[in-house]
Every structure is written in structure tokens, then in C-alpha cells.
Amino acid sequence: MTDSTHFIDGNISDAPRSDLPGLLEALRTDLRTIGYTVDGVADLLGEAAHSALNRDQLIPALIVTGRALNGEPTTAALAAVVRLWLLAEPQEAETVNAALPGIRTQGLMELGLVELSEAGLVQARVDLRPYGWDGSPGEDTVSTGGADLWVASDLAAHQRPGVLRHDHVLGIGQASTTLVQVTARRHVARALDLGTGCGIQSFHLLHHADHVTATDISERALAFTRFNLLLNAPELHLDSANLEDRVSLRLGSLLEPVAGEEFELVVSNPPFVITPRSTGEAAADQFTYRDGGLPGDDIVASLVRALPSVLAPAGTAQLLGNWEIPAGASWNERPQSWASPDADVWFIQREQVGPEQYAETWLQDASESRDRRLYQDSYAAYLDDFASRNVEAIGFGMIWLRRPAQGAGAVISRFEEITYPIEQPVGPHLGAAVERADWLAAHELADAHLLVAEDVTEERHQRPGAEHPGVILLRQGAGLRRTNLLSTELAGFVSACDGDLSVGQIIGALEALLGGYDGFDPETFRGGLLAEVGNLVRDGFLLPA
């Protein structure tokens, strides 16, 4: 195990240096002065070019920034920096010096952020881009408000030629932002960022955790993370001279670097990509940012089984993952087999694809499609690998785990598929759902008084001329945006939920109104309706008054 002192000088080969505080301060000041922020770049590019850039299409942004180079000085400076790092377009040294007068080209070279091409132009060695978020009033955070940061990572496939290097340090991607959005934020003393990459999850954790431990199997990734932490130290409330007071960087695989420790919150965007294994394969042959080196979906299975061991009582873990779906099996069969009965578990499958589409996605991700022979061989290896385990599809989604509080048992075991658009960030809604499940476990529902949630609407459909609606739907406008098909009695119950009568009283009134016919079973009626009401509370349609 290696702690953060191993990276004290920042001098890891092929990674930015973090041991030059004066240059980091100069870079911060220059970038802030020219407005190199998320909003500043968006305003410069305009909606169309900015949207294209988010799809990794550079041409519209090249056109816009090319024109802006002839604009007023601050606009020209911002355009030059966007071209240098976001578009990977080499710049004249004079242009860079004018745009960033505090650090200049020489300082950027000392930090390892740029190099000179054979033609004498300044070209990016890394991707350095603005990143930030708005304040979230609903979150219990260490500090209020949002953040404007900068994040260094390796140049992506659309910014450089050839196949990615196997120790590639991934930047801000869809998976990392998804994990940011699904994490339920609360103040914690100790948090773990498992597989930190360039540090995105740690940035968010530092706003509501007293101390963050960040681990990775890649020494380069930890060096990038350290650089990013120190570059953004003021925004992240870090003391640059004493980084270890709030952050510990650990080198190692999975949970090995934190064995014997406990955390109140763990987040992980692990290397979950299912990759064909080959005889004689070495770690250097793997893309460390996405490939955990295990066959099939074993990396996710092992984490689901092991993560409760590093959780403090009532501690939670949230991660992303893939899982294999064998032919003829339901999608949740394998995930259910991984879950411990002694831990709370919630899987939400967001997407499901076939082996061919899965292979195409990840071969394209690393630019392996640029080498025709490599692409053909790798594609065939993916299909053979899936076929060897009779895999028909691959699921992707989010996973929530909790170690029950001392003396308590598990109360949540949910495996559901939600493939339609949901509200983002959904983390606060997931946290609220857990609170409702705990409330149901601790209260007698029949004695409770309930209210209809503010975002809930009712929708009725009936045939023309029909006396009664044939379909009654309850819809959520926020969170997971669920839709619930209501029976007549459940619709009647919901319409009576104004907080005045208890659940038992409403059910009694409905029994008197709807019962009494031959074959009516009062116990079955009451028990069934009470269970359906519990589901509506669990899903957030109804809330305790």
C-alpha cells in the first residue's frame, strides 16, 4: 500500500508536475483572468459549436475560435487556450505567451502540460479543461455554492492519432458524470473514491466529506489526481502545503489499499468493461482506465460482494457497472446472486445491449478501429468470449449498497429496470427513497397519515361514452419519474390522502364503500391495499404527513 506521501514531488513520468506551487498559482490566475470556465467556453463557442464539442466533434469549434483569434485581447486569449487544450491545435509560442502572461510557454512546459513540436509550435501534452457545477441547495455540504475547476487528463481519442496508450488517464466522461449525478450527497467524516482516475469524484466528495481517500491501480492516474487537487486547492478548500490533512492517495488494486479501514461513503467508477482475456496477457496489455483484468463481469461481482466490508455501520456505496445476461435468463439473475442478505442493495439497470454493439462501443472508445486488422481480431475475440459463457446481452446501470446500522437488518433489496429519461441529478431522490424505505420499516403504516407528493399528477383514460375510466395512471414529474397503474380502490385511496385520516381509516372507508358483495374477502382487500399503499410510499408518490 502506498499513501499520498509517495507522490509528494509530483514527478511521475509522463504526468503533470504538482511540486511547483508558484507555477500552479500563476496558471490559476491566468486561466481565471481570461474566463477559461465552463460558462466562458460555452459563451465563446456558441450553442451549436459547444454542443458539437460535447459530441467530440472539433470542426465547428475550430471555425469559431479561428475567427475569435482576431477579436479583442481577452476573447483572443480564451480562443487560443481553447484551441490549445480542448481542440489539441498547436499554437505559436507568442500567442500562448500573450494569452497566459503569468506562466507563459516555459512555465507550461515545466509543469508538463505542453511541449514544442518539431515545427516549434506549442502543442498540448494533456487535455486541460474547465469543469464545474452549480450549488445544490438540497445537499448537506461542507461549503455552500458550486465550483469552477480545471481538470487535466490524457488527450482523448478525438484529439490525437492512433490507439490510446494502455495507461491512459481518462478525463471527464459520461460514466464519471453519471456517477456524480446519482451519488446521494450527505456530510460524512471519511469517504473513499475507489479508482479515482483523474479525480472527478474526489472533487465532489471534498465538498461534503471531511477526509477523502482516493485509490487507483495506476501511478499515472494518481499523479494526475494530485496535480488536479493542487491546481484547484482554493476551490476545494485544501491547504496546498498540507494536502494530506484532507486527502490520502493510495496505490493498489480494488480494496487492497484500504484493507481494515471503514468509510461512511464509497463511490466508484471501476474498470468494469468486460474484456476478452488472452493467454499470457500482461497488465501492460490492458487499458487500465476501463479493464480490471478479470474475466467477464467478475470485477463488478467482486466489488458488490466485498464493499460492505469497508463500510462503517450505516455507510453506503454507490458505483456503476456492467453485468452479463446469459441466454434465457432475466437481467437481474446474476446481480441478485452477488448481493449479500446482510446488506441493503439496489440495482437499477439503465441500458441493455447485445455483444456486437458492446464490442463496437469499446473498440471505438480506445480508437482500436483505426487499425483494421486489430479491429477485426479484437471484435472476433469479444464475440467468442461472450459466446463461451452463453451471454446474450450486457446490462449497464447503477448500484447502491449499504451496511445496516448497528443492530439493524437489511430493509432494501431492489432490482429494477429504468431505461427512460430521469431527472438529473437523481442522487437526492435516491437518498430520499432510502429514507422512505427506512421510515416504512420503522413505522406501522396503518397508523400513518399521508399526503400526495407535490410532483405527482393523475391521468385517466376512458373509451368515448364509457361511464368509468378504463385506465388510471399516477405519474411523477421529478426524480425517477415513475408511472403507477392504479386500481379503482387505490385511486380512491390516493384521492383521500390529505393528511387528515390515517391509512387504516381510509382503507376502512373504502372497504365499507366497495365491499359487501358475495365472495368479498375483507382481509384480502385490506392486506392487498395496504401493500399497494406501502409501494406508493416507497416510490415517493405518497409521503408521511
In Å, what is the CA distance from 209 to each residue of 80, 203, 435, 444?
37, 10, 20, 34
Number of other CB atoms surrounding residue 211 within 10 Å = 17
More confident residue, 136 or 150: 150
pLDDT of residue 277: 85
Residue 337 has a pLDDT of: 97
Least confident residue range of 150-164, 206-220, 235-249, 513-527:
150-164
pLDDT tops 60 at residue 143: no
Mean pLDDT of 531-535: 98
Can you give the pLDDT at residue 369?
67
Q: Which of 360-374, 430-444, 460-474 has the highest mean pLDDT?
A: 430-444
Q: Which letter, b or e, does each residue of 32-62 get, where b requires 16 or more Cβ atoms within 10 Å of its Cβ?
A: eebbbbbebbbebbeeebbebbeeeebebbb
Identify the weakest region by mean pLDDT among 95-99, 360-364, 385-389.
360-364
What CATH number labels 443-544?
Answer: 3.90.930.60
Residue 500 in 3-state DSSP?
A: strand
CB 230 within 8 A of CB 24: yes
Mean pLDDT (whole number) for 355-360: 95
Task: State the DSSP string of 266-328.
Answer: EEE---B------TT--GGGS-TTTB-SSSTTHHHHHHHHHGGGGEEEEEEEEEEEEEEEETT
Please compute the mean of the pLDDT values over residues 403-414 and round it to a whole number: 95
pLDDT band at 11 (very low <50, low <70, confident <90, very high): low
Listed in order, the ranges of the chain carrying CATH 3.90.930.60 are 443-544
List CB contacts of 376: < 8 A, sequence separation 6 or more: none
User: Taking the complete model, does pTM exceed 0.85, yes or no?
Assistant: yes
What pLDDT was estimated at residue 3? 44
* Percentage, residues of the chain above pLDDT 90: 84
pLDDT of residue 456: 98
pLDDT score, position 136: 53
Mean pLDDT of 65-83: 97
Is residue 283 over pLDDT 90? Answer: no
Scan for cell 481542440, then name that residue: 87
Over range 418-441, report the average pLDDT: 97
Percent of the chain with pLDDT over 70: 95
